Amino acid sequence: MRIALASNDGINVNLHLGKAHSLYIYDYENQKITFHDHRQVEIDKNSKHQGSQVLEACKDCNVIICVQYGFKTKIKAEDLGITLVMDECTIKEALKKYIQHYNFMNN
């Protein structure tokens, strides 16, 4: 499973999906979390409704964790098979919480 986290500092989940110019990507496989890459997204920080660009940059991801997202972006993500999760904490905490929930729901 590939998880993208919207973060401007690589430490905290602290960006709205539509303003996520920076994404940290992790893989979760065989009970291990590994860093995959850091992606920059070209967005206009003064414009609204840029979730589509972020979704395009994450089309290989299964999950995106961000502070918030809009309704239209949620629909587009569902169409792409991407799960959106709202959280605001450290990347480490967000990964731990999501994976614990994922494992609980799948056991």
The pTM (predicted TM-score) of the whole model is 0.94
Determine the Cα–Cα distance for residues 8 and 1; give it in Å rounded to an integer: 22
Length of the chain: 107
Give the pLDDT band of residue 91 (cuts 50, 70, 90).
very high
Average of per-residue pLDDT values in the chain = 95
Question: Is a pLDDT exceeding 90 seen at residue 46?
Answer: no
Which 3 state secondary structure label does DSSP give 30? coil
Q: In what order do the strands lie in the sheet with 22-29?
A: 32-40, 22-29, 2-6, 63-66, 83-86
CATH of domain 2-105: 3.30.420.130
pLDDT of residue 59: 96
Q: How is the chain split into domains, by residue range?
A: 2-105
Comparing C-alpha atoms, which of 99, 97, 56 is closest to residue 80?
56
